[in-house]
């Protein structure tokens, strides 16, 4: 009885392994897709974003402010931008003004000196 069950299990195992598939994936695309993707990437690079400037000051003050912003708003990327003679702490990249204003109200609760910056025209 044990031999028959063992034989049956071995045969099932061999049968399943014999049916395994080795597949290859081949993607066909239109020849102009690469050019279209390059144009799209160039358009995104030129697109401006609204940002929120949380504060400014010396480099050490900007670093401390950036740490505070990253703790309070971890969902956004905070960065320090040097604009002579001060370092400015900016947070977020918002595509629309409506979205930026909503988030700006939240930031102002914690950082009352915050400013909403318009996208730069390139």
Tens digit of each residue's pLDDT (9 = 90 or more) over 70-122: 999 999 889 999 988 889 999 988 888 899 999 999 999 999 999 999 887 65
Tell me the β-bridge partners of 68: none
Would residue 29 count as lying in a domain?
Answer: no
Look at residue 2 in the predicted model and tell me its pLDDT: 72
Would residue 25 count as lying in a domain?
Answer: no
What is the Cα–Cα distance from 77 to 31, expressed in whole angstroms? 37
Residue with tokens 């071995």: 10
Quick check: helix, strand or coil at residue 49? Answer: coil
Q: What is the CATH number of the domain that holds 75?
A: 3.30.70.1070
Would residue 99 count as lying in a domain?
Answer: yes
Would residue 90 count as lying in a domain?
Answer: yes
Angle made by CA atoms 49, 105, 72, in degrees to the nearest 5: 85
Would residue 92 count as lying in a domain?
Answer: yes
Would residue 16 count as lying in a domain?
Answer: no
Beta strands in the chain (DSSP E): 50-57, 78-83, 86-94, 115-117
Would the pTM of this model clear 0.85, i.e. be above it? Answer: no
What is the Cα–Cα distance from 24 to 35, expressed in whole angstroms? 26
Q: How confident is the model at residue 20 (pLDDT cuts 50, 70, 90)?
A: low
Would residue 24 count as lying in a domain?
Answer: no
Read off the DSSP letter of residue 58.
Answer: S
Would residue 85 count as lying in a domain?
Answer: yes
* Domain extent for 61: 46-117
Total domain count for the chain?
Answer: 1
Q: What percent of the chain has pLDDT over 90?
A: 43
């Amino acid at each position: 009885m044990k031999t028959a069950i063992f034989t049956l299990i071995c045969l099932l195992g061999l049968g399943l392994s014999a049916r395994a598939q080795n597949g290859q994936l081949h993607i066909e695309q239109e020849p102009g897709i690469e050019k279209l993707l390059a144009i799209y990437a160039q358009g995104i690079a030129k697109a401006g974003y609204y940002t929120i400037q949380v504060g400014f000051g010396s480099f050490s003050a900007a670093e401390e402010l950036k740490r505070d912003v990253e703790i309070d708003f971890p969902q956004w990327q905070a960065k320090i931008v040097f604009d002579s003679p001060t370092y400015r702490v900016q947070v977020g990249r918002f595509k629309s003004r409506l979205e930026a204003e909503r988030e700006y109200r939240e930031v102002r609760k914690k950082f009352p000196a915050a400013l909403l910056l318009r996208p730069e025209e390139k």
